[in-house]
Amino acid sequence: AQSVAQPEDQVNVAEGNPLTVKCTYSVSGNPYLFWYVQYPNRGLQFLLKYITGDNLVKGSYGFEAEFNKSQTSFHLKKPSALVSDSALYFCAVRDSRDSSYKLIFGSGTRLLVRP
Amino acid sequence: DAEITQSPRHKITETGRQVTLACHQTWNHNNMFWYRQDLGHGLRLIHYSYGVQDTNKGEVSDGYSVSRSNTEDLPLTLESAASSQTSVYFCASSVDRNTDTQYFGPGTRLTVL
């Protein structure tokens, strides 16, 4: 069965410092991986995805993520955090062998960037 | 601009009542999804549809139903609302079920008293 884990409920970082939000996954086939961000009282916004190809994926707002097959991870990164990056971040995965095409979401990680 | 809307944005109802949450998208996407969001659980899939007259159960479908009579709408019905169904509900749509970039509505906060 496919699953995704976000091991940190909250990540705290100072503005200007690099940030990392962790995500690991488990699938039987090839993973299709996604990051979404949710601001207060808003729906989820798509940030980036990995389907195939280059392991380093660049997305919106200066975010990037690195696909690591051996560690089954897809960590979200940004070189220099902004206070406005404070939000709830969700990792999601789909198994290429899953004929239902369903996305499985992690439980979310709250990012707090302090001035 | 094309978009996905949900209504109402907030709803308070009583246990046992039937409630319908609306979802409307103007992207002409074939694929539509309903999720609920609860603390500690992230988003959990309730029902989904890959086209008109197609509906499928997700991981938490008990007590919910959907119908897809046209491309634009996927209403979610709580047949007999329960307090355990107090949650925030999100609708999403996507054009390509394989690469699955889903686009989300603003959400409906439902409280069942």
CB proximity A44 to B under 8 Å: yes
Residue B16: which residues within 8 A CB-CB, separation 6 or more? B80, B81
**Nearest chain A Cα distance for residue B45, angstroms:** 8
CB proximity A31 to B under 8 Å: no
Residue from A38, A41, A44 nearest B100 by CA: A44
CB proximity A99 to B under 8 Å: no
**Nearest chain A Cα distance for residue B32, angstroms:** 11
Neighbours of A40 (CB within 10 A): 7
Q: What would the pLDDT profile of B51-99 be if each residue is shown by its tens digit?
A: 999 999 998 999 999 999 999 999 999 999 999 999 999 999 988 766 6
| pLDDT for position A109 | 96
Cβ pair A2, A94 in contact under 8 A:
yes
Q: Say yes or no for a CB contact (<8 Å) between B43 and A43.
A: no
Q: What would the pLDDT profile of A46-87 be if each residue is shown by its tens digit?
A: 999 999 889 999 999 999 999 999 999 999 999 999 999 999
Give φ, ψ of A57 to 5 degrees. -110, 130
| pLDDT for position A32 | 92
